[in-house]
Amino acid sequence: MTDPAYTIDEFCRLARFSRQYLYWLWGRGLGPKRTTQPVGQRHKVLIPAETADDWLARRWLCKARADLHRNTSNKETSHVE
């Protein structure tokens, strides 16, 4: 039995970004870990579900922290006296 995994298209739909952006992330060492599965003469790229879930959770947490920081900074500088 194999562990659950996402194809590139499935992962991109889940993460709500394009394949191009995912390859951009991988090119910079920032994307989720991936594995390959032989399919005939080719290899299919898969992203293990556990890895994908952890990577997405960290990404969303970082985004939420950045949004919170940005909102807090805006409130501190945007009040009128």
pLDDT along the chain (81 residues), means of 10: 86 95 96 95 96 93 84 64 51
Query: Which amino acid does the sequence have at 47?
Result: I
Contacts of 23 (CB under 8 A, 6+ apart): 31
Q: Considering the domain 5-76, what is its CATH architecture?
A: Orthogonal Bundle (1.10)
Domain boundaries, the chain: 5-76
pTM: 0.74
Q: Which strands form 42-48's sheet, in the order they lie side by side? A: 5-7, 42-48, 35-39
pLDDT of residue 32: 97
What is the residue type of 50? E
Q: Shortest CA distance to 25 belongs to which of 49, 3, 58, 50?
A: 58
